[in-house]
Structure 1
Amino acid sequence: MNEIRPQPTAANNPQPESFRPPFPVFTESTDRLMHAVQGRFTMALSPASLGLAYLDWLVHLMNSPGKMGELAQNAAAKALPLMRYAAASAAGQTDPDPFVPLAQDSRFASAEWQKYPYNVLSQAFLYTEQWWHYATTNIRGVSRHRQQVVEFAARQLLDVFSPANFPLTNPDVLKVTLEQGGQNLARGWQNYCDDLLRQATGRDYAPDPRYTPGQGVACTPGKVVYRNKLIELIQYAPTTETVHPEPILIVPAWIMKYYILDLSPANSMVRWLVGQGHTVFMISWKNPTAEDRDLGMSDYRRLGIMAALDAINAIVPETKVHATGYCLGGTLLSIAASEMSRDGDDRLASVTLLAAQTDFEDAGEIMLFIDESQVAYLEDVMWDQGFLDTKQMAGAFQLLRSNDLVWSRMVRHYFLGEADHGNDLMAWNADATRMPYRMHSEYLRRLFLDNSLAKGRFNVDGRPIALTDIRAPICAVGTTKDHVAPWKSVYKIGILTDTDVTFILCSGGHNAGIVSEPGHKGRSFQISTQADADKYVDPDTWVLVTPVQQGSWWSAWSAWLAERSGARVAPPPLGTKDYPPLTEAPGSYVLMG
């Protein structure tokens, strides 16, 4: 009888020594270096992530004969009204457009696009766009994330071939060319050559001198009262005889410079708050270099928020603080507030989160660029550099709004010959910062991939924190057109905490909706407060039952802060003996390139 022997396994048949990788560190470094080199040509996007998404979609589509039959039927059914429309247009008739672009798509909005044959070209493009949307969505078995990636990639490829992107098929370009005798194309060629030269030499655009920090923007008077290797803390000079006793600490996002909240004097949130009788402190983050590669999220919390609170408590002693965080700064503030509550630190009078997420399950279109493959690839790019470069971040955000930031600019800049007319918000947007390797890796993995904060698995100093520990009242602000922090995601703070939450939904996008000063035309907002004991109201119901108010949400927020503040007192000094003024605002970190 033949002896039955167990099959070898990893436990009872260890891998021979000769087959083990002799240099694991070397081989890993080789792989990471290759990914880092690739990333320079792919805008730090992982080819594997895109390839896997495409294969997931393609294999499931090929195995779905019913879906393919529907696609063929859909193509034929929608082709008939397109052909009737084309025939009617050629005959001089004006039939209604069979296909309507999305609300945010303004490529074919001008009257010139209603003339034959350009109306047919635009309708044919919209027909193709809608068909591909149908082809890349609602396929059984495809993972939600990969379906979104494929749909997004198909849309990006289609946008390349939009008739609006070519001079001979864009009636607006042809009209201007005839009116200007081709001078627009000559200017556009010069613009193109200038851009090409900048790319070849690596030279950035010259900053707009009208919006230099300390002059046109970030010019609210104040002093830098504290500095460490990561932040400068600015205390702004009072402009009223009395102030609310509780100061405001603003924690901006470190992905950009802080002065989004201190733009021109007319739309500076800081200047406006000071004028309302608030003592305002602002964190100005250092722009990290390769030497800062090992700074992590704990460093940003400890050297940022906690160090700033210690300085404020010394300057304004025995007084609680209204803490306010914007975007990533708001997420970090929620972490710090949870840790403080866990450890019995009750220095916060309130917490305000401006377009800041605490639950990343539905974190908007930015999630298209975040999965295990993409994060690992991005980590390798940052591992080589020590940081995530500003151009790599800008590339991802440009893809999210390619019609506005890529193709529309190309048409205006190269075909219409228009110069880029900047404003304070555009100047700030171009003044990007880098992000350290360790911090950004931790941020992507712990928050976006694992969603640890919302699930109570986020560790601070070796122990988990929970948003439910926060007892200070919360004001959360979302914006209706936010593609970075969708308002329904921001709204989730109401079910993640056990405190009173006031939610404000204001018109506008991630930046422009927050920078919404009183007097800004066309602004509106909705506001309501849910006490901890109140029953849950879902966001779709909330937006229907909450009255819309015209004007800026700033006034409502200032009133909310005032209700949670004491009687007004004399302004505190700018700095103290232990925290003496170091230099005039805006300080030196904001000027670092």
Structure 2
Amino acid sequence: MTEGHLTSFHAAAQQGPRPLPLFLSLLRSETAASPERREAALAGLKAYQQAERPPERVPPPAIAESGRARLRDYGGSGPPVVFVPSLINPPFVLDLAEDNSLLRWLAAQGLRPLLVDWGSPGPEARGEGLDHHIARLLLPLIDSLGEPPLLAGYCLGGTLALAAASLRPVRGVATIAAPWRFVRYGDPARAAIAAQWEAARPTCQALGLVPMEVLQSGFWQLDPARTVAKFEKFAAMAPGSPQARGFVALEDWANGGAPLTYAVGEEMFERFFAADRPGHGRWWVGGTRIAPSRLACPAIEFISATDRIVPAASAAGLPAQRILRSGHVGMVVGGRAQAELWEPLRDWLIAAAHTR
């Protein structure tokens, strides 16, 4: 984690869900007919705010940097795998805890995982859009390795990884819960997303940034009942139990994260969700049209049929697919993650690394 990520991480831990007033409003509406549920959810929220956190973890060393981005080395001696996280939420969901880390596990499985840490943009970066993140931040990190790596991208990071694989020679690319055909979100969801952006845009334009709160509120609206129910459930957990520690770690991640630059927010909401440029084959980066059908390397996508953040239908349609049923975040850190995602991903990456 960068200093910016640590700051937002601990702010979230102290304050609860971001933005807290909106969460409380959602809580009131969802529990209007059940004061008992509201009381339980508030007890869970208080327990979360007061839960003991483990000592700060020191992030792995950076072996390369480009602008504010860093490439962090998780060890291992096998083929390099550059993991591209989403620009939304911190990257450490792929290294959530000592006993729940996809990256540390892969480092012991004959691979060398390397994590892109995007850093935290300031208002001066307002004009740095997705093309900038790919061409000026991601590609130089890949080039620094001196050999074609494997790529693996999570969520929007998978979308960016597909672009990078179109612009540089790589051994293979795997995406995890990555959106591509944004029209497949469906008209009601896209209309709600457009309305949210229309309301937030003036403030974001003035700031030069899209705060995490704007995105978090959108995630809650996808499944407000679950947002409340998880705190009801947490209220019943034994403090300090493995289950409770896992909840706190994951919730701290969900409530953390650097803002997006204004340009990234504008492109994501208008070019991707509204116009679906990737899905319609109209996404160009540096004069190259980005299209999964034009990839010159092995490619696979891991999709969750129960994903409420990135619907399975929005996937790119790569030649190889693996369908899971663990949810958007659960597929990476849930109880079945090792069997359903980690092990198949490891096997595919090792096989792709030795494909000529």
Task: Identify the TM-score tier after normalising by the shorter chain.
Answer: 0.7 to 0.9
Matched, 1:565 2:353: yes
C-alpha distance in structure 2 between counterparts of 1:418 and 1:368, whole Å: 41
1:213 to 28, 34, 57: 57
Contact 2:300 2:320 in 1 (8 A): yes
Matched, 1:350 2:172: yes
Matched, 1:276 2:109: yes
Contact 2:272 2:278 in 1 (8 A): yes
Give the CA deviation at 1:433.
Answer: 2.0
Q: Deviations over 1:325-381 (max 9, x none)?
A: 11011111112223x1xxxx4x2110100100111111378535323x543433222
Give the CA deviation at 1:308.
Answer: 1.1
CA shift in 2, pair 1:428/1:408, >3 Å: closer
Matched, 1:359 2:181: yes
Q: What SS is found at the alignment partner of 1:265?
A: coil
Matched, 1:260 2:93: yes
Matched, 1:333 2:179: no
Matched, 1:455 2:283: no
Contact 1:478 1:504 in 2 (8 A): yes
The residue aligned with 2:139 is 306
User: How many residue pairs align between the two structures?
Assistant: 328
Equivalent AA in structure 2 for residue 322 of structure 1:
L
The residue aligned with 1:224 is 62
Contact 1:188 1:417 in 2 (8 A): no
Give the CA deviation at 1:207.
Answer: 8.7
Contact 1:398 1:406 in 2 (8 A): no
Matched, 1:394 2:216: yes
Contact 1:294 1:437 in 2 (8 A): yes
The residue aligned with 1:409 is 231
C-alpha distance in structure 2 between counterparts of 1:386 and 1:268, whole Å: 33
CA shift in 2, pair 1:456/1:428, >3 Å: same
- Unaligned stretches of 5+ residues in structure 1: 1-39, 44-154, 174-183, 196-204, 314-318, 495-500, 525-550, 568-593
The residue aligned with 1:166 is 35
Superposed, which structure 2 residues align to 1:114-153 within 5 Å? none
CA shift in 2, pair 1:407/1:266, >3 Å: closer
Q: What SS is found at the alignment partner of 1:267?
A: coil
Give the CA deviation at 1:555.
Answer: 1.6
The residue aligned with 1:471 is 296
C-alpha distance in structure 2 between counterparts of 1:353 and 1:392, whole Å: 25
Equivalent AA in structure 2 for residue 441 of structure 1:
E
The residue aligned with 1:493 is 317
C-alpha distance in structure 2 between counterparts of 1:412 and 1:271, whole Å: 27
Q: Deviations over 1:237-265 (max 9, x none)?
A: 23xxxx43x31011001111111111222
Contact 1:207 1:427 in 2 (8 A): no
Q: Deviations over 1:492-550 (max 9, x none)?
A: 423xxxxxx2211123111111225xxx4x569xxxxxxxxxxxxxxxxxxxxxxxxxx
Q: What SS is found at the alignment partner of 2:88?
A: coil
The residue aligned with 2:321 is 503
Superposed, which structure 2 residues align to 1:93-132 within 5 Å? none
CA shift in 2, pair 1:327/1:408, >3 Å: closer
The residue aligned with 1:427 is 252
C-alpha distance in structure 2 between counterparts of 1:350 and 1:510, whole Å: 22
TM-score of the superposition, structure 2-length normalised? 0.79
Q: What SS is found at the alignment partner of 1:353?
A: strand
Determine which structure has greater relative contact order: mean sequence separation of CA pairs < 8 Å that are 6+ residues apart, divided by chain length. Answer: 2
C-alpha distance in structure 1 between counterparts of 2:198 and 2:297, whole Å: 37
C-alpha distance in structure 1 between counterparts of 2:68 and 2:101, whole Å: 24
Q: Deviations over 1:209-245 (max 9, x none)?
A: 316332xxx5xxx42112233301112223xxxx43x
TM-score of the superposition, structure 1-length normalised? 0.49
Give the CA deviation at 1:438.
Answer: 1.0
Matched, 1:370 2:198: no
C-alpha distance in structure 1 between counterparts of 2:44 and 2:170, whole Å: 56
Q: What SS is found at the alignment partner of 1:510?
A: coil
Q: Deviations over 1:454-510 (max 9, x none)?
A: 2121122245433322121111001132111112322x423xxxxxx2211123111
Contact 1:326 1:356 in 2 (8 A): yes
Q: What SS is found at the alignment partner of 2:89?
A: coil
C-alpha distance in structure 2 between counterparts of 1:208 and 1:190, whole Å: 14
Contact 2:45 2:231 in 1 (8 A): no
Q: What SS is found at the alignment partner of 2:330?
A: coil
The residue aligned with 2:80 is 247
Superposed, which structure 2 residues align to 1:572-591 within 5 Å? none
- Unaligned stretches of 5+ residues in structure 2: 1-18
CA shift in 2, pair 1:308/1:463, >3 Å: closer
Q: Deviations over 1:381-413 (max 9, x none)?
A: 210222111223222222222223236637976
Matched, 1:483 2:323: no
Q: What SS is found at the alignment partner of 2:307?
A: coil
Q: What SS is found at the alignment partner of 1:264?
A: coil
2:124 to 285, 291, 297: 291
Give the CA deviation at 1:297.
Answer: 1.0
Contact 2:219 2:309 in 1 (8 A): no
Bigger CA radius of gyration: 1
